[in-house]
Amino acid sequence: MDEHIRRRRFCRQSVLLGTGLVLSGAGRTRAVAPGNEPSANGTLETIGRLRTIHGNFTDQAIPESDLQTILDATVRAANASNMQTYSIIVVKDRAKMQAVCGYQASCLLVYCVDHNRLKALAQSLDHPYHPGNMVSFITSGINTILAVQTAAIAARSLGLDYLITNGLHRGDMRRQWGLLDLPEEHCYPLIALLLGYPTQEPAHKKGRLSGAGVIHHEKYQPLTPEQAAEITKQYDDPNSHLALIDNWKDQGHKHYLDWLFTAWLRGSETPTERETQMFTLLKRSGYVEPQAG
């Protein structure tokens, strides 16, 4: 199979997986009302039942057979050149989970962008291999995220709940290398997936936008003022379940997005002027190319 066909096949698989959560809408932007998603088959029904549990998990253990099924499924995700440039660390120690990401559940899967397996294979065969650039990191990051989402779908199909979290980036990120004994070079903890059973059923599922500003036909289409106002209205509508909190009005905000931009996203008002710890650790991991000059 030539390179052109391989690339087309990879792109097609990535699109199918990546767009699984998007239910298309026509015309104005609308929120997909939880519970109103169309059911066409078992796979789509599982996708329609995806939801996030915010750390409220019981102590009930996951059957080993279910965990293995999830691990078997996650590695089936589409990935560039079938190199699977990620590593998955399975954590069952609840104290370690808390230290890693700030949550506890029945099981934690830490997904890392990782080229050390390929480096070892290349070295064993006396081949040079240098993945130290942003192209390698971005491509591997896509591989990793596809694997995480596939695991979440597999978990939900088995009746398990999950939380996908970037909690491992909070605080001093350097702790991850110590807690998980990660290689310092060409390995970067990207995202975590908690698995388990919720302490109580969520009151509702979060809604999703679908339409203008999310779906673009043929070319990118900037929002019009009317469309921006409509999206703002959708966020304000409590029945859409798009908001992170319900009491934003009580905090003196006219719109939910006023709260989002001034309270939740505080610190994003101006461009970043200093190097973030994430960038510092990406450089240490070897994924940032030296700048000329």
Residues 128 and 219 in one domain: no
Whether residue 180 contacts residue 155, with contact meaning beta carbons closer than 8 Å, is answered with: no
Q: Is 76 part of any domain?
A: yes
Determine the structural domain holding residue 44 and report its residue range. Answer: 23-51+202-234
Model pLDDT, residue 38: 53
Provide the pLDDT confidence category of residue 193 given band limits of 50, 70 and 90. very high
Per-residue pLDDT tens digits for 84-100: 999 999 999 999 999 99
pLDDT at residue 29 tops 60: no
Residues 56 and 196 in one domain: yes
**In the chain, how many domains are there?**
3
Residues 91 and 215 in one domain: no
Residues 76 and 102 in one domain: yes
Residues 188 and 116 in one domain: yes
Per-residue pLDDT tens digits for 39-86: 568 888 888 888 888 778 999 999 999 999 999 999 999 999 999 999
Residues 32 and 107 in one domain: no
Q: Is 293 part of any domain?
A: no
Between 199 and 144, residue with greater pLDDT: 144
Q: Is 90 part of any domain?
A: yes
Model pLDDT, residue 35: 56
Q: What is the mean pLDDT of the chain?
A: 86
One-character DSSP codes across 5-61? HHHHHHHHHHHHHHTTT-----SS-EEE-TT-----SHHHHHHHT-----S-B-SPP
Residues 117 and 195 in one domain: yes
Residues 66 and 183 in one domain: yes
Q: Is 269 part of any domain?
A: yes
pLDDT at residue 132 tops 80: yes
Q: Is 213 part of any domain?
A: yes
Residues 212 and 88 in one domain: no
Rg (C-alpha) for the chain, rounded Å, is: 21
195 DSSP β-pair partners: 107, 162
The phi, psi pair for 263, rounded to 5°, reads: -110, -60
Which residue's structure tokens are 């998007």? 22
Residues 56 and 194 in one domain: yes
Model pLDDT, residue 53: 83
pLDDT at residue 239 tops 80: yes
Residues 188 and 260 in one domain: no
What is the pTM (predicted TM-score) of this model? Answer: 0.81
